[in-house]
Amino acid sequence: MLRIHFTGEDLTRVTVATRSDPLWDVLLSLHLLQEPDRSLAFGEWRRRTRALRMPSVRPLLELARPWGYSPDFLTPGRGEADFTTQLDDVLSTSRTQLSAELSILADESGSTPWIHQLAGGDRQVMARLGDALTAYHRVALAPYQERIAAHAEADRARRGLALVTGGVERLLAELHPRVTWEAPVLRIPVYADQDVHLEGRGLVLVPSFFCRIQPITLMDPGRPPVLVYPLSPRLGWLRPAGAEGRQDGLEPVVALLGRTRAHVLDAAAAGGTTTELALRVGVALPVISRQTSVLREAGLLDTRREGGSVRHHVTPLGLALLNGELAPDGTLG
């Protein structure tokens, strides 16, 4: 469990990054590339990227293993800088930090000759790391930057609305279905037990297109606090522009739940009152009430009273269904 502890000052210093962070997307997409093919939302991207067969990128897979620890030096940014600037930061990592973080990686997952050389900060080895990151970013991420940026922009608008209408506590409470806000602690189920005390430093929320399952953070508590959370692109995000009329990316969910119910679940992914969902889906309030009741009984929707209104939120199971991330046995992928 990850527990992030806020002070009153921290609550005034929570910000949302203006874009998806390029090196966090590199790291998390490398994780995704190596995971079992459970995520339908990323199935086509994974097939395209794997088909490129990039030998120069293989060393990155030793650093960015799909489960467990990944070195913090690979993700120096918080959504404020472009890829080139952040790459310079990575290549300027001190030998002390390289050695410390790669020792953690080796202890947890085993070392390799490449990791051993990198831990020494050898200039040629660091140059090879830079070339590998650049090559991977160019072919695996850069072609999709417009789609990534559009998702981040839409997400930021939703976060801004939550902040304006409910303050920072609503922003935190609605950050993600797997996040629990019980003031003054934000709790996130992750593989490692970790406490992060902000102590007046605030927190930057960074969206990531390739983050899956739940938000994550850095392991080093001394680094500037950041919480990276999923943008959760829907099925069909890779369709060519103009293809929406040929195939609705929600169709697999429609086939399972029915069209109205599927669109109600999709509309609730951003959270909303019964009235807000009715406006988004374009149906009458009694229809929304009936459909949310069915979705709630199925464990796909959670309904809570917040202040003077009732708000609906998609559960982790519902989000996994929308994203095509259910394993064959019905568990989260």
pLDDT in tens, 229-247: 998 776 667 754 443 433 4
User: pLDDT tens for residues 111-162?
Assistant: 888 899 999 988 899 999 999 999 999 999 998 888 888 888 888 888 888 8
> What CATH number is given for 251-322 in this structure?
1.10.10.10
Output the six-digit token pair for 6: 């806020």
For the ranges 7-11, 48-52, 177-181, the lowest mean pLDDT is seen at 48-52
Rounded (5°) CA angle 323-61-133: 90
pLDDT of residue 215: 92
Helix axes 22-34, 83-91, angle to 10 degrees: 80
Cβ atoms 315, 299 nearer than 8 A = yes
Whole-number Cα distances in Å, 214 to 30, 113, 192, 193, 210: 16, 32, 13, 14, 11
User: pLDDT tens for residues 276-308?
Assistant: 888 778 778 888 899 999 999 998 998 888 767
pLDDT of residue 48: 85
How far apart, in whole angstroms, are the C-alpha atoms of residue 42 and residue 33?
A: 9
- For the chain, which residues make up each domain, given as ranges? 2-18+146-230, 22-144, 251-322
pLDDT of residue 38: 61
pLDDT of residue 247: 40
Helix axes 123-136, 83-91, angle to 10 degrees: 160
pLDDT of residue 244: 42
- What are the contacts of 283-291 at 24+ separation with CB within 8 A? 287/260, 288/264, 291/260, 291/261, 291/264
Whole-number Cα distances in Å, 315 to 98, 115, 266: 39, 39, 12
User: pLDDT tens for residues 7-20?
Assistant: 999 999 999 998 88
Neighbouring residues of 239: CB distance < 8 A, sequence distance ≥ 6: 246, 247, 249
Residue 198's SS3 state is: coil
How far apart, in whole angstroms, are the C-alpha atoms of residue 323 and residue 266?
A: 10
| pTM listed for this prediction | 0.75
How far apart, in whole angstroms, are the C-alpha atoms of residue 48 and residue 6?
A: 42
Cβ atoms 83, 145 nearer than 8 A = no
